[in-house]
Amino acid sequence: MKRIHIMLNVSSLSKAKKFYSALIGIAPTKEKDDYLQWKINNPSLNLSIKSNATEAFGVNHLGIEASSDEELQSLYLQAKNANVAMEEEGLTTCCYAKSQKS
């Protein structure tokens, strides 16, 4: 299953938690001291936010989450064919999740 991933930098994690929980209608599915995540099935979205005063507020990064290596390779080829600028990251940790990144 493909899922859009959006990571936002916020100035107040508590205010963002209250806002996005009310907007989405559910509590975060993952919580850390500096990080919150909502995995939503409809629409298929992984919304993550983090509080980090050293980074600009707003969009940190965008991505597409894949549920298998085959799906990841298919997404990679689609992006490559569309001339999307990409960084090869390999096995790495993103948003507290260690996984293969293309």
pLDDT at residue 98 tops 70: no
What is the pLDDT at residue 93?
A: 60
Count of domains in the chain? 1
What is the pLDDT at residue 76?
A: 86
Q: Which of 28-42, 63-77, 85-99 has the lowest mean pLDDT?
A: 85-99
Parent domain of 16: 3-101
pLDDT at residue 73 tops 70: yes
- CATH number of the domain to which 65 belongs: 3.10.180.10
Cis peptide, bond prior to residue 28, ω within 30 of zero: no
Residues 62, 5 contacting (CB under 8 angstroms): yes
Residue range 10-28: mean pLDDT, rounded = 95
Global pTM reads 0.75
What is the pLDDT at residue 96?
A: 66
Residue 6 CA from chain centroid, whole number:
4
What is the pLDDT at residue 97?
A: 64
